[in-house]
Copies of this chain bind each other. A is one copy, B any other.
């Protein structure tokens, strides 16, 4: 009999998805959010669970843990072009958790929510052996602005917001005792790209979209499987985190592609609409960079100095491997 450690998270999700009854929901399992029809809008719903053992780095402060669980949920709303409404937050905490830990955690969660025009409206608080947090975020998006994971075609270009590798740089700082607040924030206090998501949605040019939480390579493989396409990525075009570039003896591109934890958005669109999308994102104060093309051949290739090789999927998958040691 197979165990979850043999199956991995994505196979487990496939099993769950196969069992669940399907119905009138517009978008179900397999996208960043579920979506219900609500007159001319979709109601977006997404949930994320994290626990001390596998998802919360030891050095994360209670305030940052609170920020993080809200940020990763809002990131899923962002990836669909949604405007957040609010969140509920469930806390599983050991009996000996201090009152100050609880207070700091809630302050961090509240700060991340209010800073992004969302509100924490409820939750649950229960005893658990392990610190376990579960957030559920809600948002709205106009039906014709919803950015699904599925929809891209060969010939589209693929682009990412911001820079990649900020989380990897923060992790490096943490591991090496570098007290650079900006570096650490990249890993411990990610920014959900809500403004970028809403700006991109309004252009109506995006043919597929997701957040890059599990790493660029993992995201590309997920988009490939869903869209039955391939990708050709230009390695030198990947917008590297400035903080990663600074580190010597550190394969910046490798970390930017595989480490994950960046919560930027990856989007596809017709080639001739890229400038429009780029301008929309720039108005929010962020960048949109074309990093490659969608191909008919279902491989994921990385191109550098006119040499092309397969980009392996080294992103994060739960149950099978863990990111933080």
* Contact across chains for A122 and B36 when beta carbons are under 8 A apart: no
A134 within 8 A of partner (CB): yes
Distance in angstroms between the alpha carbons of A126 and B4 in the assembled complex: 10
Q: Give the total of A residues in contact with B, Cβ under 8 Å.
A: 76
A54 within 8 A of partner (CB): yes
* Contact across chains for A96 and B4 when beta carbons are under 8 A apart: yes
Q: Which stretch (A85-93, A189-197, A235-243, A300-308) binds chain B?
A: A85-93
* Contact across chains for A19 and B103 when beta carbons are under 8 A apart: yes
A253 within 8 A of partner (CB): no
* Contact across chains for A21 and B123 when beta carbons are under 8 A apart: no
Q: A2-B99, A20-B120, A97-B4 are in contact. Are A130 and B130 (CB under 8 A)?
A: yes
* Contact across chains for B124 and A49 when beta carbons are under 8 A apart: yes
* Contact across chains for B122 and A34 when beta carbons are under 8 A apart: yes
The quantity of this chain's copies bound in the complex is 2
* Contact across chains for B3 and A95 when beta carbons are under 8 A apart: yes
Give a binary string over A1-27; 1 marks a CB under 8 Å from any B CB, 0 the rest. 111110101001101100111111100
Distance in angstroms between the alpha carbons of A136 and B138 in the assembled complex: 11
Distance in angstroms between the alpha carbons of A106 and B18 in the assembled complex: 10
Question: What is the minimal beta-carbon distance from A28 to any residue of chain B, in angstroms?
Answer: 5
Give a binary string over A83-119; 1 marks a CB under 8 Å from any B CB, 0 the rest. 0011011111111111110110011001001100001
User: Can you list 8 A-B contacts (CB < 8 A)?
Assistant: A9-B126, A12-B125, A21-B120, A34-B88, A34-B121, A36-B138, A45-B136, A132-B132
- Which residues of A pack against B, CB within 8 Å? 1-5, 7, 9, 12-13, 15-16, 19-25, 28-29, 33-34, 36, 38, 43, 45-51, 53-55, 85-86, 88-100, 102-103, 106-107, 110, 113-114, 119-130, 132, 134, 136, 138, 318-319, 322
